[in-house]
Structure 1
Amino acid sequence: MSAPAAICYSKLLLPETRRSLTSIDNIQPVEKQDQSALSAATRGATNGIALILNIIANLVAFVSFIAFLNGVVGYCGGMLGRPDLDLEWIFGKIFIPLSWLMGVPWEECEHVGTLIGLKTIVNEFVAYQRMGQMKKDGLLSPRAELIATYSLCGFTNPASAGIMIGAIASMAPNQRETLSSIAVRAFFAGCGICFMTACIAALLMPEGSFG
């Protein structure tokens, strides 16, 4: 389900308004750069190291920036008498209506919204760990668990944006500005794809199968 949704969102957020410059008629053949397998392996290893270092650098930068914002919000919350205030809490509240629209029972929307907020700010692995704890505590019904599972199943967080820019920019340095300009739209598209998939999964599952 994610592949058709990705095509749909990409066409909506970045529509093709001009004829593509790349077609079967103007594709240029790739020139052979290596004369032996050893030369190709050496060049591949060198390029791989640069790629990994680029990804790590962007990942650290993006995660550090989010941590800084979270610290500022937490500091302001402490001054206002809300020491628990952070970006996860804010996004958790924002995603409560969205959780309800996806079909989560209202009394569980805050829990699912918290999970989506955690996934959006940190990553999906931490969110799935929290969801497992919620399941053990009996806070999620089978229907809410199903919707949350699909909602969290996406590589859409600030760190992933850094990884995307770092990885692709190292292979195509001249496209760095283009990547940076569409990173925000790609982020929202990825989130929307997860939410759309969760909605469809909830629709396709018979009501009696939720227990």
Structure 2
Amino acid sequence: MQYLIKFDESGKRQETYVADEKKEQERESLLQDGFILVDEDEYQKIIGNIDGKTYIRNPETGEYEAYEPPLEDLKSAKMAAVNAWTAAKITGGFTSDATGEAVTYDSDKDTQLTMQGIAATAGTDLFAQKYPDGVAVRGYAQTSNKKQVYTLTAGQVQAWCADLSKHINDCKQAGWAKQAAVEAAESKEDLDAITLT
């Protein structure tokens, strides 16, 4: 298989097409527009499927050279990954023993807003009026993989929300520590050592 690739002025791969999927006239037009015909082996090397490194095409020699993004670009990408990891940890569920047993509950934004709003009324006449039998929430018992409904009293709602807040705080602090490590990184190896698990 052959590919038609356009490289930018620094040699980075830009637009790419499978040559066989283009009609002869389209191929000729792309070649006249600065595209280069690349065979399968070259293409696999360029995209990093040979040795895990991506390659750029030296504009002067036409040779392919391993490309190492600047450290600042690597740090920006790692910081974005850390931020996404932190957000996923926050909304990925948390454990509370507000009912007297450890249960894993959802912690997505809707759940956070709903329960914090309900907690603001805990202990008031409004809470007693709106939730005379308690607030129904669903979660997984530690010994089960099936959600079940738990009914929380006003005090349990407050404890539940306190556990949620602690969970969010713990996630944020873990994220801040990883952000600080990204900022302090002095090499690609330093960045690679920052795990997101």
What interval of TM-score do these two structures reach, taking the shorter chain for normalisation? under 0.3
Choose between structure 1 and 2: higher strand proportion.
2
Higher RCO (C-alpha 8 Å, min separation 6)? 1
Q: Give the TM-score, by structure 2 length.
A: 0.27
Q: Give the TM-score, by structure 1 length.
A: 0.25
Choose between structure 1 and 2: higher helix proportion.
1
